[in-house]
Each structure stands twice: as structure tokens, then as C-alpha cells.
Structure 1
Amino acid sequence: MSTHESQTNEILFISDLHLSPEYPATVQRFLNFLNNRARKADAIFILGDLFDAWIGDDNNETPYQDIRVQLGLLTSSGTDVLIQHGNRDFLLGDDFCRHTGTQLIPEEMVVDLFGTKTLLMHGDTLCTDDTGYLEARKFLRSDAFASDFLARKLEKRKAIAADYRKQSGEATSLLPGDIMDVNQSAVESVMNKHGVTRLIHGHTHRQARHQFEINAKPCERIVLGEWHSDQGMALSVTPDGVKEITV
């Protein structure tokens, strides 16, 4: 990671902003964040669903171009911006990263945060009780789907995405709450797989810090909160500890 001339030793984590033309106040809150608090950090990790729907890197309508410009200014100033795909913006690609100076990271990534190995995920694959979603995810993440979808004209892609969001919202409203949350066995399995005692993720919109044990070792799962027009949530990690901040 790059460093500022006056290093702050702070890393920020955000997720589930769901930026779109329909929510200009949330977009403005994010742009203000990029121009202020984010400038003081060494790195920003965006753990999925930066956008409510990403239909291709060639979509230049408002506000996406403004967001590209401001992200580019932030990375040029010395703050690293690392982005994980979410379930809404998994088509975010190399062109977006090239224009903004951001980096795409794997859907499971372990980082050393001031001495603590921490697993970063969007969190959707932890919701193993939602079998219908996981089946749909396999299809949507396939190369065949991406090739077919991105080959269509932009207006057609917009219409398909709008219809998908509507269907997804209706389906979600019919599911019991626990199906939409993570499965604890899945959490413990992936943490064991990577040999970590801390996990940070988003997706569920259930902001919290969960304490538990795996193999008699104390562990923590930190869930990032979603953004609204009147409030954004970020997790600040420094050598002094971890804290949630409102931005």
C-alpha cells in the first residue's frame, strides 16, 4: 500500500453504499467522504455493493462519472482504494479500476491489520441458508452471463438490471430474517480455512460486532452498516484499535 507524506496509520472499511442516480443524497455523502475523511486514511477497503447495480464500465451517466473522478483524485493523493465485488456490482471491471486508480481484490482476502490477520469478504456467500440466491449467484457470476449481458446495448442492460432489482426486492421480502443472515457454521468454516480470528464483512446490513470462540480461541465478526442519505458508516482500524464512525 502507498503512504501519505504524513502517515496516519488508519485503514477504513465501508460497504453497501448502493450508490445510484435514484439516491443523490447518498452519492453526495460519499463524495464528501472521499474529499474529507478518506484523505486522512492510508487505505480504504470497499467490501462490495458500492453501487446498487453496475451494468458495465461504459456507463457514464450521472453520477457515475463524478464518482470516477473523485475516486481518481483520492488515489492520486496517496490513499489506496481496494474494492471487493458485491452481489450488486460484480460486473465492476478493469476499465473502472484503470480510470480511478483503484484495485479489485479477491472475494476472500486476508490482510494484516497492525498485527491481526483479518479476513475480508462481502458476506453473501456466508448466507448459506439462502439456497435460491446461491444458485442464482453461480449463474450470474459465470463468464457466459457476463459476456452475454455486456454485449447488449446500454439501454437494454439498464432495463434488465431494473427488472432484476424489482424481482430481488420482492423475493427478499418473502424470506424469514434468519435466512437473510449469515450461517454461523459457514463463518467458522471460512475463518478456519484462512486461519484468522477476525472477519469483516458487509451484505446483511446488520451492523454489529459479534464475539465467539473457534477451537477455544476468541474470535470476532464485524458487520459493516449500509449507507443512507442522512448517514454513512465506516470502520476505522488503527494501531490503537477498532471503532465504528459515522461519516
Structure 2
Amino acid sequence: MTTLFISDLHLDAERPEITELFGRFLRDEARGADALYILGDLFEAWVGDDDPSDTGTLVAEALRAVSAAGTPVSFMHGNRDFLLGHDFARRAGMAILTDPSVVCLYGRPTLLLHGDTLCTGDVAYQQFRAQTRNPTWQRQFLAQPLAARLAFAQQARAASKAHQSGLSSQGTMETITDVAPDEVAGVFARFGVDTMIHGHTHRPAMHQVDVTGRARRRIVLGDWYEQGSVLRVDAAGERLEALA
């Protein structure tokens, strides 16, 4: 049997073909897996569980079918869907995981993260993250009318694109938006594990990292903008593959 990991699907109405690909993946593979982990950014934006979008409804129904078929589904918040709440999780039949979390994969303790907390070089983003993860800010935001929240999400996406464009023009995009090696080493040391799995950076790869003379593995999940990406883990090891 196999455990599946995905992240950074960024599902929305503007890319229905990716939602369809995700649906096929759930029907054809996820139902027969030991477990499915979604490590953040399932949606391009999420402004509250009262959003009546067709995409959200479709995804909730498809995930509930996977859970009902016997595959446990776990979700971890990303930087785009950090407001996804317990109401949607119940509709989707999935559990919400704390970021970070350690799980046991076939006898191996493994650290799971979305990955944005590792990108400490992006100071502007980390400041935005600290603000929007504050429970008081979230309560005040969710109390606003849906239209106002949707407008904020549009503005935040535009600001993110402008921020990335500015980094690109300065030639710092690749380093600033990737993980900070010192932060990775510190997290490995703090949790005492040999394997870390995360998304967020959209740079799928399997890295070998030496921390205090001990070999560790950092596995980065791919995004679903142009194609799918899945990490398959079983007792024999890991395989990071693209889905068409």
C-alpha cells in the first residue's frame, strides 16, 4: 500500500482542467491508498467556509468520497487557504493537521510542513503571514461580508504578484522565495527527524541535507499549475512524480 502527498493545487474556477485532473486522481488512485495528505494551498484563495463557489463544493464532495471509501484524508493550511475551517473539513471528510506535524510513515518519523515558514528570507511575506495568522485578525476578517472578503483576496493576489515581480527585477526571486538553509537545519535539529516533506516553493525535488554530521532528506512537492504532482511513499521508499 501507498501513502500519497500533494500540495499547491491552487484550485479555482479559472483552471477547470486542473480541478478535473484532481478529481481523476482522487477517483483512480487516492481511494486505494493508505492515506492522503494535502500540505496546503488546495485552493488559490479561501475567504471562509461560507464561500458558495462551485469549485469548493466539487472538491468537498470528491474528498468526502475518498474518505468514505476508507482512505483517511488530512489537510494542512497553506498560505492561500489558511482560513479553511472545520465546517469545510467536515463537509470534505478530512482532518486538519497542525503545521508542522510529525507522522510515522512505515516506521519512519517524518516531519510535514506547508513550507512557507522555511522561507525566512522573504521578510515582507513573513510579516504578512504573522498578521493574517493572528486569531483576532481572522475573527475580524471573517466577520466582514463575503463580497468584502473576496475583494481583499483579489487585492492580496495582485500584491503577491507585484512583490514577486519586484524580486525578479532585482534578481533575488530564486533565493528570497526559496527555503533558508539555516532554517531547514534548525527545524531538522529541533524535531530530531531524518525526513521532511513540504510544498510551497513549487520546486519539486529530493534533497540530501547534512545536519550536524547526520544525513537528512528534504522532499519538496510540486505544484499543479500546469500538471499534477504527487509523492508516493511506501515501505520501500519514495517516488516523486508528475501527473498529466
TM-score normalized by structure 2? Answer: 0.95
Aligned to 1:5: none
Aligned to 1:203: 200
Aligned to 1:237: 233
Aligned to 1:51: 43
Aligned to 1:95: 87
Give distance in 2, aligned partners of 1:24 and 1:30.
10
Tell me the CA shift for residue 71 of structure 1: 0.8
Aligned to 2:103: 111
Say how many residue pairs are matched.
Answer: 238
Q: Please tell me whether residue 128 in structure 1 is matched to residue 90 in structure 2.
A: no
Aligned to 1:35: 27
Please point out which of 199, 209, 212 is paired with 1:212: 209
Counterpart residue identity of residue 91, structure 1: L
Tell me the CA shift for residue 228 of structure 1: 2.6
Give distance in 1, aligned partners of 2:206 and 2:64.
32
Give distance in 2, aligned partners of 1:162 and 1:168.
10
For structure 2, the 5+ residue unaligned runs are: none
Counterpart residue identity of residue 244, structure 1: L
Aligned to 1:3: none
Tell me the CA shift for residue 245 of structure 1: 2.5
Give distance in 1, aligned partners of 2:53 and 2:203.
31
Tell me the CA shift for residue 246 of structure 1: 2.7
Give distance in 2, aligned partners of 1:56 and 1:30.
22
Give distance in 2, aligned partners of 1:68 and 1:114.
28
Aligned to 2:182: 185
Deviations 1:44-91 (A, max 9, x none): 110110011001111122111111111111101101110000000000
Give distance in 1, aligned partners of 2:229 and 2:176.
24
Give distance in 2, aligned partners of 1:146 and 1:56.
10
Tell me the CA shift for residue 240 of structure 1: 1.2
Aligned to 1:76: 68
Give distance in 1, aligned partners of 2:144 and 2:217.
43
TM-score normalized by structure 1? Answer: 0.94
Aligned to 1:25: 17
Deviations 1:123-176 (A, max 9, x none): 000001111111111111111221111111112211110111011111012121
Give distance in 1, aligned partners of 2:77 and 2:150.
19
Tell me the CA shift for residue 32 of structure 1: 1.1
Give distance in 1, aligned partners of 2:55 and 2:197.
28
Give distance in 1, aligned partners of 2:194 and 2:105.
12
Q: Please tell me whether residue 157 in structure 1 is matched to residue 157 in structure 2.
A: no
